[in-house]
Chain A
Amino acid sequence: MISEHDTAPPTDLPDAVYAYAVLLLNEAAERSARELRGVDGLPVRILRGTGTAAVVSDVPAEAFTEEAIAQRLDDITDLERLARDHHQVIAALASRTAVLPLRLATVYLDDDSLLRRLHADDGHFRATLNRLEGHDEWGVKIYARPQATTPPPGDRPRSGRDYLRARRTSRDGHDLALQAAADLGARVDRTLAEANLVTDVRHHRPQPAALSAEPGENVVNAAYLVPREHTRSFQDRVELLAAGTVGVRLEITGPWAPYSFASPPPEQSERADPAIAQVTP
């Protein structure tokens, strides 16, 4: 298979700057960043601002034009490669220092342009990074189990009334499983908050079962910001709650870089976010 990324771009082509994340100036993180490979296998470097730094790769400008990016995002194979490359850099950094992950394909024409952006958002970035320091993001997904909703085999209805009753039982079983999953989600939230095991929580849209071969219907898709010293207690509490609940399946994912906590909560960001306003057509 031929990959155009295997050969270095000719030096006379202009570079663009692909940004992965923002972090506080930090020597250890800088050292480890230099060993990383980023999008398209390109080297990673640190661009130092005044209080914060950006983690970037120099990329061939023509590979990251608006059209080129749109094309990449449209091809599942390219998208997967880009997403994993982007994520890999952020994940490696997040294990060493607090990072603000940037949205996929944040690209600048040159260092100065990105430095101006860092400078403009300096206060906000630093406050968020200080808040995220020492934390990991953990995902908790709760599914209603379909098994709990189907009547036992061989239990055939003998009359219309039996049939309707069976239908109602099945529907009630489905509703009960959904309810059980939602209740478990609320219980997890409450327990973790009461035990002071999490700093913050975000509830994301459930992942629809349209093509998912995951058994069951995703009802809860939550992300928790967990202080690292509470990692084990967090997991134990969540597992204990799940084990005591019939009709659901619970999945813990992580540790993640704090993707879900890099931006202010939705109600705040709606108020004013000039960055979003600028990129919206």
Chain B
Amino acid sequence: MTDSLTRRSGGLSPQPGSAGNLADILERVLDKGVVIAGDIKINLLDIELLTIKLRLLVVSVDTAREMGIDWWEHDPTLSSRAVRPAPSPDSARTAELAAENARLRAELQSLNARLKEPDDL
């Protein structure tokens, strides 16, 4: 078995708009870069929680979309585009996705519950 190696263009692609994997971009713009105090206060704790949520929710949005997992786009609490009905290629796959969907919702809910706790203190 040969070992695979992938090369992915990250930041500096010459054509604007084709700028790499969203998970990698989010990791950098939310987690890295210089933090200097702005006038508009961004709660860094919120950013950290957001990052954690994203890590669980959309570790690789591109890959998830390629697989047809885009349920967050259909969930009114997560997206304004939720009204659009989801295409259903075949029933087995749909059922599989629905199961996954349910599992993810549960995970997200418990995560959300945990994320909210510090705020209540």
Interface residues of A (CB under 8 A from B): 16, 19, 22, 64-66, 69-70, 73-77, 79-80, 83-84, 86-88, 90-92, 94-95, 100-109, 113, 117, 121, 136-139, 145, 147, 204, 207-214, 235, 239, 242-243, 245-257, 259-260, 262-263, 273, 275-276, 278-281
**A256-B79 in contact given A69-B40, A210-B56, A249-B3 (Cβ < 8 Å):** no
| Contact residue among A95, A100, A242, A256 (Cβ-Cβ distance under 8 Å from B5) | A242
Do A139 and B5 touch across chains, with their CB atoms under 8 A apart?
A: no
By CB atoms of chain A within 10 A, which of B40, B55, B61 has the most?
Answer: B40
Q: Known contacts A213-B67, A256-B10; decide if A278 and B37 are in contact (CB<8 Å).
A: yes
> Residues of B contacting A235 with CB < 8 Å?
7
Q: Is B39 within 8 A of A108, CB to CB?
A: yes
Q: Specify which chain B residues have a CB less than 8 angstroms from the CB of A16 in the assembled complex.
A: 39-40
Q: Mark B74-98, 1 if CB is under 8 A from A, else 0.
A: 0000111100000000000000000
For B55, the chain A residues whose CB sits under 8 A away are 207-208, 210
Give CA–CA (A18, B34) in the complex, Å: 14
B12 interface hit (Cβ, 8 Å) = yes
Given contacts A84-B19, A211-B59, 13 further A-B contacts (CB under 8 A): A66-B43, A70-B46, A76-B72, A83-B22, A88-B16, A103-B32, A107-B40, A109-B39, A211-B57, A211-B104, A243-B5, A252-B8, A275-B36
A22/B34 in contact, CB under 8 A: yes
In the complex with contacts A87-B25, A109-B39, A242-B3, A208-B12 CB distance below 8 A: no
Contact B33 A101 (CB under 8 A): yes
Does any Cβ of A come within 8 Å of B114's Cβ?
A: no
Known: A139-B24, A207-B23. A257 touches B11 (CB 8 A): yes
- The residue that B40 contacts in the complex, of A66, A90, A147, A263, with Cβ under 8 A, is A66
CB-CB under 8 A from A84, the residues of chain B are: 19, 22, 25
Residue from B32, B64, B80 within 8 A of A101 (CB atoms): B32
Cα A254 to Cα B37 in complex, Å, equals 28
On chain B, the residues within 8 Å of A94 by CB distance are: 11-12
CB distance from B114 to the nearest CB of A (A): 14
Q: Is the CB of A208 within 8 A of B29?
A: no
A258 CB to nearest chain B CB (Å): 9
Q: Provide the residues of chain A in CB contact with B27, threshold 8 Å.
A: 204, 207
Of chain A, the residue at the smallest CB distance from B75 is A76
Q: Are A259 and B41 in contact (CB under 8 A)?
A: no
Contacts of B1 in A (CB 8 A): 147, 246
Partner of A87, one of B28, B40, B44: B28
**Separation in Å of the A240 CB from the closest CB of chain B?**
10
19 contacts between A and B (CB under 8 A): A80-B26, A84-B25, A88-B17, A91-B11, A91-B19, A103-B42, A109-B39, A121-B36, A207-B60, A208-B59, A213-B67, A246-B3, A250-B6, A251-B6, A253-B10, A254-B9, A259-B32, A276-B35, A279-B41
In the complex, whether B99 has a CB less than 8 A from a CB of chain A is: no
Instruction: Sort A-B residue pairs by CB-CB distance and give the 5 closest, nearest first.
Output: A212-B59, A259-B32, A259-B28, A91-B11, A107-B40
A280 vs B34: C-alpha distance when bound (angstroms): 15
